[in-house]
Amino acid sequence: MLALKLALVAVSVLLSTLAARRFGHRVGGAVAGMPMIAAPVIAILLLDHDAGQVRAVALATLVCLPAAVVHIVSFAVSAGRWGAPACVSLALLAYLATSFVLTQLPLPPALVGALALAAPAAALWFAAHHGGPAAPVPVPRTELVLRVAVAVAMAAVVIVGADVLPPVASGLLLAVPITGTVLPCFTLPRYGAAATRSLIAGFLQGLHGFAAFFITLYWALGSLGELAAFLLALAAALITAALMQAVRRWMRRPPSANEP
């Protein structure tokens, strides 16, 4: 059963890789920012644990989401100055420091949800100024293998350790931007800082769907059954992703002849 669960996570990562290969850096980043790994893990947790436990994990994940934004923005800022090892080290340190501070604050759930939405929204200015061309990306096999391996390892820790880890630890693991760490590390040396920032801009866009998924899941589990709450959360993530794509197109539209 564990092998089947981990295989589902691997399939999710493969889907995000196919998106990058077909549509380019930004679209690949947007798909990676969605709950491609977290959603299957949550589905598995709902099968094995009661709604209260999963609800606590969802809230802990939302607490750590602003730290994921700090992580990816830190990588983008440092991408034009240093190599991938220094960039990822700085980004992970920023994530851990921000997560530690956030988990120590007695934040009410409503404020946690507001911060989870505000963090990627505050980074929209970055996404708006780093569009990049929508060209296919030849993702190397080594990157594909590493992405799947890291995602599966993370899922294994969350699933196997769900019985012993506190909700805060599980939430922190779910919120770690795994693809947001692996993809930039391969993109920076192969395609340069501009392509890396385009990828990261897409990732920030996708995080809105991630936030919508966990916010909806947390509140829905308080009043609905597990299956209904999960499906509603998935719908919220997809609708949010579509809205963000519409906003991006609107912001990038050329001015009409009647506009000054």
Instruction: Using the predicted structure, report yes or no on whether residue 50 has a pLDDT greater than 50.
Output: yes
Mean per-residue pLDDT for 158-165? 63
Q: Which residues, 6 or more positions from 72, have their beta carbon under 8 angstroms from its beta carbon?
A: 91, 177, 180, 184, 200, 203, 204, 207
Q: What is the DSSP letter of 224?
A: S
CB 56 within 8 A of CB 167: yes
pLDDT value for 26: 73
Residue 162: band (very low, low, confident or very high) from pLDDT cuts 50, 70, 90: low
Tokens representing 90?
């700085």
Q: What are the C-alpha distances in Å from 140 to residues 116, 133, 167?
A: 33, 19, 36
pLDDT value for 86: 86
Sequence length of the chain is 260
Other CB atoms within 10 Å distance of the CB of residue 255: 7
CB 11 within 8 A of CB 144: no
Instruction: Using the predicted structure, report yes or no on whether residue 97 has a pLDDT greater than 90.
Output: no
CA distance 207 to 191: 23
CA distance 67 to 120: 10
pTM of the model as a whole? 0.79
Mean pLDDT of the chain: 78
pLDDT value for 177: 74
Q: Which residues, 6 or more positions from 126, have their beta carbon under 8 angstroms from its beta carbon?
A: 73, 76, 197, 200, 201, 204
pLDDT value for 257: 46
Residue 213: band (very low, low, confident or very high) from pLDDT cuts 50, 70, 90: very high
Give exposure, 179-206, as e/b (b: 16+ Cβ within 10 Å): bbbbbbbbbbeeeebebbbbbbbbbbbb
Q: Which amino acid is at 240?
A: T
Count of CA atoms in the C-beta half-sphere (13 A) of 109:
12
pLDDT value for 187: 80
Residue 148: band (very low, low, confident or very high) from pLDDT cuts 50, 70, 90: confident
The owner of tokens 């993109």 is 187
